[in-house]
Structure 1
Amino acid sequence: MTVFIQVVLPVLLVFGAGYLLQKLAKLDLKSVSTVALYIMLPCLVFKTFYNADLNGEYVMMLVFSALLLVSILVINKVVAKIKGYDASMESGLILSTAFMNSGNYGAPIILFAFGEAGFVYSVSFLVLQAIIMNFFGVYYAARGKSGLRMAIVSVLKMPPTYAVIVALIINLGSIKMPGNLMSSVDLLANASIPMVMVVLGMQLAGISIKNMDWSKASYASVVRLIASPAIAFVLTLLLPMSDLMASVLIVSAAMPSAATTTIYAVQFDSKPELVSSITLMTTLLSVITIPLLLMMYI
């Protein structure tokens, strides 16, 4: 109960504020999320990679992310084959289970649970997940050549992608940023996490459940909230990394479905109602699963 009150509840209260704001004020969600994506999040990403001590741990994080994605894709393809699901249904389940909300939800949870040291790993992981989701998420939503082209364009349109590149060049080149410029970056970076938390609350306010398929939603919830962290646990045993990094990656892998996947599902008609319902269901269930998992690692 202490973990829930000290770590999860503060995060849920901010989500709730965004949820209520959107229900009452009906704001333009796209405009609000654009501010977070194009200004605040790139600053957080730049700050993280600019100050990061780049070493083999980041390579391990990349390997971990790839293996986790492949594992969940295999699970979904096997289930789709056994159940006889069509490509659209398979894509909807992949969107709901393979891509976790490591940014809006995961990053603040990690910050409250593991402090600044764990938060650095969390930001690095959320960047990797954003790139993976914008590429493979679009691909599986659209499939075919158009999906591949749109996936590449989607990644290239992401401001955090360029923030990573610039930060890595400056970091590896041992270039010193001017103090006044870095102060501006720090200011926006510090505001990014509260902002994306409010955005998630606003996104959840726009999700509606119609004719929920309980069997598929339950399956997806088990994969996202239980199987994913279990796979992550095994991977952290196989890959060399610090205990803190392992804990952060396992908890991050247990996050609910990413709200962004609902947008992809709607755009490409990959079972949008199912994806939306799973996003909401996993987010609600995570209020139970995340505290239980945190009690094992804090």
Structure 2
Amino acid sequence: MSLFLTVLQIVAPVFILAAIGYIWVRTGHEYKVEFVTRLTMTLSVPCLIFTALMKTEVDPAALTAISLAAVVAYGVLTVIAALVLKLTRLPMRSYLAPMIFGNTGNLGLPVAMFAFGEAGLGYAVVVFAIMAIWSFTFGIWVVAGGGSLVRALKEPLLWATLLGGLFLSQGWHTPLFVTHALELVGQIAIPLMLITLGVAVARLRPGEMKLATGLSLLKYLLCVAVAWGTGRAFGLDPVAFAVLVIQISTPVAVTSFLLAEKYGADSDAVAGLVVISTLMSVLAIPLLLALVL
């Protein structure tokens, strides 16, 4: 019973905030997703990443280990997902990115913070940054036949991660008033991302549900297996291991739908994956937490 209550305390705030966004839109209120997304991704999340890394007391060697583990996990997942799609003859442009990239920002960061505190958040932002870099380079290349390292180098979250890692490794800290200001800006990221997740799901119009259900279930199984195996292979400490499994195994990111819509892939199919995998996460995330806690 205590484990159930612990898991409930972790996941309940996540889904309550997402439900607020869902209900907000369903009751006819306006919500500027583009503005909120730009605000969080270019300002609030980078501040969150920088301060989380700067203030973390996690051993830099442990952060290096989870960084390498995340790179390997995403690499292995990319290869396996590509092979599965090739064998099933499903279009790479529409389905490869959703099978690889999870909602490590909107969902993964809050879960890591609520479950494992500041240490967990420090690990989670590293996995999130690696996923984002891979998504903005390889992910765009798959969906649109474009994308480059230059785009990744323009992302504020990349520089926030590098700068935060530098401060962490050198033991540096910004002046207290600057730290407080950055923390205030960063604190708006998680609630806004969760509310926006609910808004995005409320606005999606999914297509074929049968295929989406099968692929969503397959995504969870592949992601958990790859993350679990990679975490064990790198000998990660318990918190880092748990965060890696949770982050890699988050449901399909709403950004996958946005990229499909922008570059002319099958956005309806991706929308179905977003909706079904997010609904599955209501059961999947508590189950994963129960396994790794």
Tell me how many residue pairs correspond in the alignment: 288
CA distance in 2, matches of 1:96, 1:276: 10
Match of 2:184 in 1: 187
Match of 1:148 in 2: 147
Using structure 2 for the length normalisation, give the TM-score.
Answer: 0.90
Offset at 1:51? 2.4
2:14 counterpart of 1:11: yes
Give 1:267-278 correspondences, 5 Å limit.
267-278=262-273
Offset at 1:268? 1.4
Q: Which of the numbers 74, 79, 82 marks the counterpart of 2:79?
A: 74
Is the Cα–Cα contact under 8 Å of residues 48 and 124 in structure 1 kept in the other structure? no
Deviates more, 1:119-128 or 1:70-79: 70-79
Offset at 1:204? 1.4
CA distance in 2, matches of 1:176, 1:117: 17
2:161 counterpart of 1:164: yes
Offset at 1:242? 1.0
Offset at 1:198? 1.3
In structure 2, the gaps of 5 or more residues are none
Is the Cα–Cα contact under 8 Å of residues 133 and 152 in structure 2 kept in the other structure? yes
Match of 2:43 in 1: 39
Match of 2:30 in 1: 26
Identity of aligned pairs, percent? 24
SS at match of 1:8: helix
Q: Which of the numbers 98, 101, 105 marks the counterpart of 1:99?
A: 101
* Aligned-residue RMSD, C-alpha: 1.9
Deviates more, 1:182-191 or 1:272-281: 182-191
Deviations 1:96-152 (A, max 9, x none): 110011110111112222222212211222122122222221111112xxx134xx3
The aligned amino acid for 2:153 is: L
Match of 1:214 in 2: 210
Residues 62 and 31 of structure 1: CA distance in aligned 2, closer, same or farther (over 3 Å) = same
Offset at 1:153? 4.2
CA distance in 1, matches of 2:278, 2:215: 12
Match of 1:83 in 2: 88
CA distance in 1, matches of 2:168, 2:65: 19
Deviations 1:275-295 (A, max 9, x none): 111011000011111111111
Using structure 1 for the length normalisation, give the TM-score.
Answer: 0.89
Residues 291 and 129 of structure 1: CA distance in aligned 2, closer, same or farther (over 3 Å) = same
Deviations 1:228-270 (A, max 9, x none): 0111111111113211100111122221011111111111122
Q: Which of the numbers 109, 112, 118 marks the counterpart of 1:110?
A: 112
In structure 1, the gaps of 5 or more residues are none
